[in-house]
A = this chain, B = another copy of it.
């Protein structure tokens, strides 16, 4: 929905069209003249604006009069202000807001971890965050794992063990690799 709104406005022709119909009603012909475009092109753009609810159509004979739908504009103007709205855009692959908050609380400005939380509930998102520093489908030596972990916290042993314990990393013959998120024990 929000995406549709932005797409509708992400073209010079449509922005100018909206400017014109914001001033007063215009017919397709008028707009085509003012914009130096052909009617089909204008019609196409108006259809997109209409689909997004940004213009309103009044039909009189065979003439179609388009005008701005200010309400929609106001509505989206408000929508893009709230962080909550934006966070939902992140889609299904994102961590939840709650998990994000945990990680944020434990991160220092330089991106390292302040500490390792005692409770399992808080530990899980931290470990998930850490596990995402590994690429799926790539193999790591123990030294590589240590290096990556150590960049976030000095206690590499504990973290390495926990990552394996939660089935985020797997180990065999001293070689580590990242497991798909579906397998993680959260």
Which A residues are closer than 8 A to B by beta carbons? Answer: 2-3, 6-7, 9-12, 15-16, 18-20, 22-25, 27, 29-30, 33-36, 60, 63, 65, 68, 70, 73-74, 76-78, 80-81, 83, 86-91, 93-95, 97, 100, 103-104, 107, 109-111, 129, 132-133, 135
| Chain B residues whose C-beta falls within 8 Å of the C-beta of A87 in the assembled complex | 19, 22-23
Max count, chain B CB within 10 A of own CB: residue among A10, A65, A70? A10
* A10→B89 CA distance, assembly (Å): 12
* A83→B21 CA distance, assembly (Å): 10
A133 touches B29 (CB 8 A): yes
Max count, chain B CB within 10 A of own CB: residue among A19, A60, A94, A95? A19
Write the chain B residue with the least CB distance to A29: B133
A15 in complex: contacting residue of B6, B25, B68, CB < 8 Å: B6
A77 touches B86 (CB 8 A): no
A18 touches B111 (CB 8 A): no
* A124→B17 CA distance, assembly (Å): 23
